[in-house]
Structure 1
Amino acid sequence: MNKKGILLLVIVMLCSTLLAGCGGSDKKTEAPAAGKKLVIYTSMKESLISQIVEGFKKKNPGIEVDYQSAGAGKLMAKIAAERQSGHILADVIWTSEVPDFYSMKKEGILEQYKTPLINEILNPFADYDGSFTAARLGTLGIAINTDKIKTPPAQWADLLKPEYKGAFAIADPALSGTSYMSVALLEKQFGWEFFEKLRDNQARIGKGSGQVIDDTASGELSASLAVDYITNDKVNKGAHIALYYPPELLVVPSPVAIFKGSSNIDAAKKFVDYLLSQEAQTLIAKEGTISVRKDVKSPEKFKLPEAEDALKRSIKIDYAASLATKEATIKKFTDTLQVKK
């Protein structure tokens, strides 16, 4: 090969090397590999979680997110099955069944993450250690069908009146974490005698938290024990229902936690921080529930109590203790309200 040929070959080799090096920058724009998505399990309704995920992705454009929205009971069963197979697929869990979080903490499967935003929120957990953080203060009241009930209920005892006979329901606490907590709170405040009186007035056990509200809106029920944001969503869509709060308030925090061993730990921490941010908490408040942030107020149309007032009025309970009695409480509730034939 002559000198010109050798020179040409060297030039070609140099260009190939440079082009190969330049190609590395393009890989940053490629979609994440399978299994690299941040995965969230939540019992929050689709319209809420989808907005929050979209907001998070805009703030963190390099992070891919997937989520599954289902009842807390179904999610816990899914997690149990995944643990049996050796790996929890989710990175983050956000539901309203507080005892589950104490159970997971006890079993050592939650990452301790103390968010830097903790001083900006109202924390209902006196034993907070970062294993989970309240991301929402859910409330439950009495939803009535306004075509059927003309005098709004002012206290829990009003549910024992004739107009509610055979027409009031509580979602099955075995299916709904929120319902379980509400049953535990009412039992703590009024004892099982209250549920016995409900049974005598032919109160029913409904299905999920959303189903009893749907049945109230349709007129199949006159009233139900109802979650705030689900009820307010129906009101916004024109349903003839209204939500009323007796003085003894049912407040059910919705904790968020990160699973230990998550392969997306940094992204999971960013999601928790975003969920507690003013932007995400404003989305939560707009859905008709109470934000944990002191600087985010619920829209006046929902007639929700202020967060600090809600916690002050709330029925107090030992969440860890409620875990130990969960199965017994659900059985007692079912046995009490089931109509004997």
Structure 2
Amino acid sequence: MSYQNETAELDSLYASAKEEQKHSKKTFLVWAGGDAPNQQDALYAQFKKRFPGIDIEIIVDLSKYHDIKVYEQLNNGYLEPDVVMLQTMNDFEDWKKLGVLEPFKSQGFPHIRKGYSDPEGHFIGGFIFAFLPQYAKEGVKVAPKNYKDFLAPAFKNKLVLTPPHDDDAVLYVFDHIIKKYGVEFLHELKAQNPAFVRGTAAPAALVGQKGFLGNIVGYPTYPQQPSQSFIPEDEFFITWPQRAAMFKLTERKATARLFLAYLASYEFQSSRGFWSTRTDVTELGGLQPIENYKNTDPLDFIEWMRDRKHIHELRVLFTGIFGEVKGESPLKDPSLFRVYYNTL
């Protein structure tokens, strides 16, 4: 299939962005949801290489912190970021209702999977993210196949977890777990005496190091890591499309259109090596098309995120069992700054 129309659009938008930069003193700014400062380094490097001369900064922080600042700034009539990419997908629907988003449909927009983006172009599904359980490559005699396997004696005192009530996506996984096994699962998990570390990046990186053997809600792993992730055999796992949008208050609109068009392009989506938000990108690394997995549904998490009352009730439940979330934000805790793969 030819994607000359997408390439031509990117070239045209790039020219407009360069012209815009000549007349703007503002660096193009993206706020991205995440919990480790290096999580968007690859995207930053790709964008800088593809569009040299465009000044760009990507600031990573927890989506639940970014979105609060967006609402506050919108109320005050100004906005720092030109584009936001967040896990809090319900925010984009609320912002559309408030009439504060700037719609844009790139040439790649029609290829994005149905339900991931706004049909009118107010926001797009930029990435598919997933959390998968992990176990250490050394020290685990029987590899786990499902979440309940982490309740085995071998994992006692050796689990490292994100506090479930500190992250909506992690809480979503545990909501599915207790729907299957009941709240008793949580009490059995507490008896395992897991270590709780804020954020999702640090717990995922710690599996296979420092004596930690498992993480129920971790990251997809790479071959060089000391841990192995897996897709549960018969339990639900989470995937979701991280959404992105520009606003009517966006100052560098030409660059914002370039950035969103690049996110949606076949050129970028086919370079990620994971599931794509596009229907025409072939999966790599032995993955099947996401629709082949009957134990995940990216659109289900979107629906779940809308029910804030249920989410609040779950947080109350988890706080009652595991206590309040403790520690600094993973973006502010110096002890977590170097807790990334191959750095311990």
Specify the TM-score bucket, using the shorter chain as the normaliser.
Answer: 0.7 to 0.9
Aligned residues: 301
Q: Which residue of 1 aligns with 2:246?
A: 258
Q: Which residue of 1 aligns with 2:31?
A: 41
Indicate the structure (1 or 2) with the bigger Cα radius of gyration: 1
CA distance in 1, matches of 2:282, 2:146: 25
Is residue 116–residue 241 contact of structure 2 (8 Å, CA) maintained in 1? Answer: no
Which structure 2 residues correspond to residues 94-243 of structure 1 after superposition, within 5 A? 94-125=85-116, 128-173=119-164, 175-187=166-178, 191-229=182-220, 231-232=221-222, 235-236=223-224, 239-243=225-229
Q: Which residue of 1 aligns with 2:9?
A: none
Letter in 2 for 1:328: E
Per-residue CA distance 1:83-132 (angstroms, 9 max, x = gap): 46542200111133334434444554333334442332323449755332
Question: Match for 1:272 among 246, 249, 260?
Answer: 260
Is residue 42–residue 95 contact of structure 1 (8 Å, CA) maintained in 2? Answer: yes
Is residue 117–residue 243 contact of structure 2 (8 Å, CA) maintained in 1? Answer: no
Q: Which residue of 2 aligns with 1:14?
A: none
TM-score scaled by length of structure 2: 0.73
Secondary structure (helix, strand or coil) at the match of 1:142 reads strand
Per-residue CA distance 1:236-286 (angstroms, 9 max, x = gap): 3xx32100111323212211122232122232122112112122113332x
Q: Which has the higher helix share?
A: 1
Superposed CA RMSD: 3.3
Is residue 150–residue 216 contact of structure 2 (8 Å, CA) maintained in 1? Answer: no
Q: Which runs of 5+ in 2 are unaligned?
A: 1-17, 325-344
CA distance in 1, matches of 2:239, 2:218: 10
Letter in 2 for 1:314: T
Alpha-carbon shift at residue 226 of structure 1 (Å): 3.9
Distance 1:99 1:174, change over 3 A: farther
Distance 1:169 1:251, change over 3 A: same
Which structure 2 residues correspond to residues 67-86 of structure 1 after superposition, within 5 A? 67-83=58-74, 85-86=76-77
Letter in 2 for 1:313: N
Identity, % of aligned pairs? 19
Per-residue CA distance 1:171-193 (angstroms, 9 max, x = gap): 13454454244344545555544
Distance 1:228 1:196, change over 3 A: same
Distance 1:110 1:181, change over 3 A: farther
Question: Match for 2:292 among 305, 309, 312?
Answer: 309
TM-score scaled by length of structure 1: 0.74
Letter in 2 for 1:295: D
Secondary structure (helix, strand or coil) at the match of 2:25 reads coil
